[in-house]
Amino acid sequence: MRNILVTGGAGYIGSILSFYLLNKNLNVFIIDNLSRGHKKLINKKASFFKLSLKNSKEIRKIVIQKKIDTVIHLAAFIKVDESIKNPSLYLKNNVEGTISLIESVKNTLVKRLIFSSSSSVYGKTKKKISETNKTKPISPYGKSKLQAEKKVIKLCEKYNLNNVILRYFNVVGAQVKKKPYLGQINKTG
């Protein structure tokens, strides 16, 4: 059975993703420092650890003890206006936190890292955006996500980790009766 670590699992995307993973009968372990996430969003079937990404020794211990093979890294600060007021906060959390996490899992059973980035790495453009567009972030938030992407690529290559980087636009969804909306249309008659 797969053992998956979700960082930021008490946040919007992390809590919904954890629900899906648990419904697929995967073992889910959540790390969140609860500075932005909400404990009430954490699925009771998941194992939860209140930790900062900077706590690399504890994260490494969990990764080894729980035999984690996949990490889904969603933990980040995301407010553009806040990043403009306090860019160093975003550098420390989003970039240094990502580096610390990857260093925590090197030379373990972890073979896959999925990194949650942002479309803000493209900056303003009137063109249709594709993965081949140049990156030109205009906010410290976008810059921190692009810097983190570069660290993911470099460190995953160094430590032989497969990686995927997802660049989201506006993430929207709903959870109904403890089951996330699946986007399916019910046909009648």
pLDDT in tens, 6-32: 999 999 899 999 999 999 999 999 999
CB 108 within 8 A of CB 160: no
pLDDT band at 174 (very low <50, low <70, confident <90, very high): low
Question: If 0-12 CB within 10 Å is exposed, 13-18 middle and 19+ buried, where does residue 126 land?
Answer: exposed
pLDDT band at 187 (very low <50, low <70, confident <90, very high): very low
* Lowest-pLDDT range of 39-48, 59-68, 142-151, 167-176: 167-176
Neighbouring CB atoms inside 10 A of 68's CB total 22
pLDDT: which is higher, 129 or 99: 99
pLDDT on residue 172: 64
pLDDT band at 175 (very low <50, low <70, confident <90, very high): low
- The catalytic position among 12, 141, 159, 168 is 141
**pLDDT averaged over the chain?**
90
Alpha-carbon distance of 163 to 156, in angstroms, equals 7
pLDDT at 176 over 70: no
Question: If 0-12 CB within 10 Å is exposed, 13-18 middle and 19+ buried, where does residue 71 land?
Answer: buried
Domain boundaries, the chain: 3-172
What residues form DSSP beta bridges with 49? 31
* Lowest-pLDDT range of 89-98, 102-111, 117-126, 168-177: 168-177
Q: Which helix (H) or strand (E) holds 129?
A: none
Alpha-carbon distance of 6 to 19, in angstroms, equals 11
pLDDT at 137 over 50: yes
Domain 3-172 grouped into CATH 3.40.50.720: yes
The predicted-structure confidence for 76-100, as pLDDT tens digits, reads as follows 999 999 999 999 999 999 999 999 9
Looking at residues 95-106, what average pLDDT do you find?
Answer: 97
pLDDT at 183 over 50: no
Residues in the chain: 189
pLDDT at 184 over 80: no
In degrees rounded to 5, what are phi and psi of residue 60? -60, -40
| Active-site residue, 181 included | no
